[in-house]
Homo-oligomer: A and B are copies of this chain.
Amino acid sequence: MSFPGSVIAPVLTPFDSQLEVDPLRFVALCRVLLDQGVDLAPFGTTSEGPSLSVDERLRLLDALAETGVDMGRVMPGTGCCALPDTVRLSAHAARLGCGAVLMLPPFYYKGVSDDALFASFAAVIERVADPRLKVVLYHFPRHSQTPISLELVDRLRRAFPDTVVGLKDSSGDWDNMRTAIERFPGFHVWSGTERLMLDILRAGGAGVISANANLNGRAMLDLAQGWRGAEAKALQTRLDQFRAAVQGRPLIPALKAMLADWLEDPEWRHVRPPQLLSD
């Protein structure tokens, strides 16, 4: 990853008509994005990552690595409910030289304490036991319903200073992001929405990991380049206009439909339940 100023796409996952993953289309989209300058966070929320089995994620990641791309620009989602699944995915990503992994907390049991979440992340890190492992904590309370508090971030950073390197904050809560940046020097904080891209770059954050980077990554990279200049607000406005155009529709099917239209490849429309096909 290049930061500050990194733009990362939670890569859309292609399925065929039987809803099987499609490594060829996956690699093709990854290469388009990388060529644009967009880094990759496959198996994130927008990627339907939790709807993929561990074996499917490994197969897609291996297919990408086999093409010889710089895996340092890849941050796969590896956080599952089951400890051995998270360990297996994270260890494999570290072996492949991935720049980092994006790790959800175990998200089935609700109302768990920071002690329990600390134990969960610690158990993964200790089992992977690989200095190449770099963890970006994934805070997405809307879906995980398992928030990662800044107190928990602080504890994990102190316990694993060389491993726990960043936070993706998909809460949309600017105060939380700003506080994380100020409180943890050297820590990388990404916003989950490009609505806050100019704000987070000005505050010293790492950049954005945003669904819309699948389709609008170039405009985000323009802001990543130009945020110190006079045109910064205009570049942010362009991002906001794209967001407005997709808002109000279910995000994943909408993005896949747009990609299908853009590539003239209707296969890209397929989604796995509980996502529903776009009209």
Contacts and interface: CB of A to CB of B under 8 A. Distances in A.
Nearest to A252: B109
Interface string A261-279: 0000000000011111000
A99 interface: no
B112 A274 contact: yes
A53 B276 CA distance: 26
B273 A83 contact: yes
Nearest to A49: B108
Contacts of A143: 108-110
A56 B83 contact: no
B81 A50 contact: yes
A158 interface: no
A116 interface: yes
A274 B19 contact: no
A112 B112 CA distance: 23
A137 to B, nearest CB: 14
Interface string A29-62: 0000000000000000100001111101000000
A176 interface: no
Interface in A167-207: none
Contact of A116 (B50, B54, B276): B276
Report the copy number of this chain in the oligomer: 2
Given A19-B123, A53-B54, A275 B109 contact: yes
A84 interface: yes
Contacts of A249: none
A11 interface: no
A64 to B, nearest CB: 19
A119 interface: yes
Given A19-B83, A123-B19, A109 B50 contact: yes
Interface string A141-171: 0111100000000000000000000000000
A235 to B, nearest CB: 31
Given A105-B274, A115-B276, A110 B142 contact: yes
Contacts of A107: 107-108
Contacts of A109: 45, 50, 143, 274-275
Across the A-B interface, the 10 shortest Cβ-Cβ residue pairs:
A50-B108, A120-B273, A116-B274, A119-B273, A50-B81, A112-B274, A53-B84, A53-B82, A120-B274, A106-B274
Interface of A: 19, 45, 50-54, 56, 81-85, 88, 105-113, 115-117, 119-120, 122-123, 142-145, 272-276
